[in-house]
Structure 1
Amino acid sequence: MYYMQDLTMGAIASELSTSRSSVSRLLSFARESGLVDIQIRSPFDRGIALERTLRERHHVTVHVVPMPQSISDVDRLERVAMTAGRQLGRYVDSNMVVGIAWGSTLGAISRHLVQKPTHNSTVVQMNGAGNTQTTGIDYASEILHRFGEAFTAQVQQFPVPAFFDDPATREGLWRERSTRRLLDIHARMDVAIFGLGSPFAEVPSQVYIGGYLDSEDYRSLSADGVVGDIATVFYRGDGSFADVALNARASGPNLERLRRVARRVCVVSGVQKLPSLRGALAAGLITDLILDESLAVALAREIPSPAERRRSGSASAGEA
């Protein structure tokens, strides 16, 4: 009656013999539960032009979240997370395996998820969360639980350390049947949802402030020229990652394998994460990108590398 018949809340209240405030609450519930999905397509929105520019340059699907430059990075993350939480239902469906990377961004997104019942779906933790101070189970399980509830999916935790002390320990545990079962689920992921870890961000990435790295680890990352991580697996600004020393001890997915996941949804906010985003795009780790307007502008203003120009040229020639 409200959206399709253009009735006012007062008219609806009269017809349903209820109060106007009750109608208002029902309309709010309809939006929050996903019964009503509101989309805005403004011809004056510069975000559309930004999305087109970034899509053509990086060959990813882009959604730019508009907001003023003066907003704090905490509020910026919250707005991007809210938008992502309301959009993720487009990527998740029945009979899917959905990989979730824990972190500040995924924690924020999990609080804004819109209900979308599915069947025979699984939400799996992509990387371990334990360190010398905590098992990380409570932190990661809360995020996974919210995703599982939103999509009525089975939840599979990955109860291992974020980083092993010795690569041989990881290799030994990876051969165990109980761990192998979870790694097999990882191999069947249809969708991977993640933020980007960054040592430069104003809103600190959990891996850099949660006791996961010591001074020697930081020296190693600096020596390797690391600019960010996905699910605690690190990469450089040029997109390379194979010989980053700390990755031999990481519990997150091999980034070469991650590239084989059909849909890889990255949610990121804050201009400080530009180097991390550039590296992830250079590595081809993203298919769908949700980001704030300031970061989108900064990314669009960068001069494309020769490799990016060649890719764009090849794509244009193919389309022609």
Structure 2
Amino acid sequence: MAFDERTLYEIARHYHELGKTQNEIADSLGISRSQVSRALKQAQDEGIVVIHVIPPEFDFTDLEAKLCSVFGLRDAAVILGSAGSSRLLTQNLGMAGAKYLDKTLKAGHVVGVSWGATLRELVAAFSETKPTPREIMVVPLLGGQGQASPDLQVNDIASRVSMTFSGSHLYLHAPSFVDTPEARATMLNDSNIKNVADKWATADVAVMGIGCFVPPSTLLEEGGFPPDELIELAKMGVVGDICMRFFDVHGEPVNTPLGERIIGASLEQLKSIECVVAVAGGVNKAQAILGALRTGVVDVLITDDVAARRVLEMAS
């Protein structure tokens, strides 16, 4: 027996809003309880009933304040960690980052973006946060990542951020690293690339992930580095990166031959940006987050409570 839309609505309203049992509804309509059960399922399938599961609210105000105090941050946002699912945590961090950008970006802002899984999820979250349009310009903070998935690529992320806000964007038609320092110098002298690079130190806001050397890691899996170079970086004490700029756990830049081949904003250029927002979480990234905070680049950290506590524990 199929029910019309009006009957489905009435059955659903009496059950979900008025609190009547399925037996009571069946008696009042002269139908069986199993028919009421099927009608409730049909109402859900047809979108008459939409179920939202609302997570409990957790107050991490003290944790956020301690992060700001210990590391001199302008702001911090801490979300509940996700047990056992790195993908779910990345999605939740992306949502938190999208909400933070929505309240931070102003018309006329130049916004720098990096690459990676967290930025991908941040962009995806805009479909739910639905920010109001505003005129911004979005620029990549480094070149592309070779064979990385298209939705992880910085040019794709820049394009999608700008479209979300009805703004504009520039493409950086260059790889994130080249074969020689001479090749890098040549590319940075190209007028199209220079047009983007000139905005790295003068952007108003930058949003980026933090790469780490502990799996799961987009940097290790999608960064395109030869294995021998990754091994060498680890031997030199590298714990993470911001825009392919490597640092140790103390926040000190680790100067490597690879660094001379990177096409992207330097740590000094990133420090010149008015507001740098880093979005990263997971206990596997704790060392990298600690090192990133100690570089002095990050103004705002968005992370989860498990990573935040671990970072503070290591810093004490």
Would you say 1:101 and 2:114 are equivalent positions? Answer: yes
Alignment match, 1:92: 105
What is the aligned counterpart of 1:223 among 235, 257, 266? 235
Give, in angstroms, the shift of residue 23 of structure 1: 11
How big is each residue's C-alpha offset from its partner over 1:202-248, in whole Å with a ceiling of 9 and x where there is no partner?
3x21x321261002311321232111111122111111116233211
| Matches for 1:120-269 after TM superposition, within 5 Å | 121-131=136-146, 133=147, 139-202=153-216, 204-205=217-218, 207-210=219-222, 212-241=224-253, 243-269=255-281
| 1:127/1:253 contact within 8 Å kept | yes
**Regions of 4+ moved over 4 Å:** 21-25, 133-138
What is the aligned counterpart of 1:117 among 133, 136, 149? 133
TM value normalised by structure 2? 0.77
Shift in alpha-carbon separation, 1:242–1:215, aligned structure 2, 3 A: closer
2:101 is paired with a residue whose SS is helix
Alignment match, 2:282: 270
How big is each residue's C-alpha offset from its partner over 1:262-308, in whole Å with a ceiling of 9 and x where there is no partner?
1000001110101101111111111001101111121222343xxxx
2:119 is paired with a residue whose SS is helix
TM value normalised by structure 1? 0.76
Give, in angstroms, the shift of residue 95 of structure 1: 0.7
- Cα distance in structure 2, aligned partners of 1:56 and 1:232: 27
- Cα distance in structure 2, aligned partners of 1:91 and 1:183: 23
Q: Find the structure with the greater CA-based Rg.
A: 2
Shift in alpha-carbon separation, 1:67–1:279, aligned structure 2, 3 A: closer
Give, in angstroms, the shift of residue 122 of structure 1: 0.4
| 1:194/1:266 contact within 8 Å kept | yes
What is the aligned-residue RMSD (CA, Å)? 3.0
- Cα distance in structure 2, aligned partners of 1:180 and 1:217: 27
| 1:174/1:180 contact within 8 Å kept | yes
| 1:274/1:298 contact within 8 Å kept | yes
Once the two structures are aligned, what percentage of the paired residues are identical? 24
Alignment match, 2:4: none
- Cα distance in structure 1, aligned partners of 2:270 and 2:245: 11
How big is each residue's C-alpha offset from its partner over 1:172-224, in whole Å with a ceiling of 9 and x where there is no partner?
1111222211111223211110000112033x21x321261002311321232
Give, in angstroms, the shift of residue 71 of structure 1: 4.0
| 1:269/1:292 contact within 8 Å kept | yes
2:76 is paired with a residue whose SS is strand
Structure 2: gaps spanning 5 or more residues: 1-16, 18-45
| 2:246/2:254 contact within 8 Å kept | no
Q: Matched residue pairs, number?
A: 270
What is the aligned counterpart of 1:73 among 86, 106, 124? 86
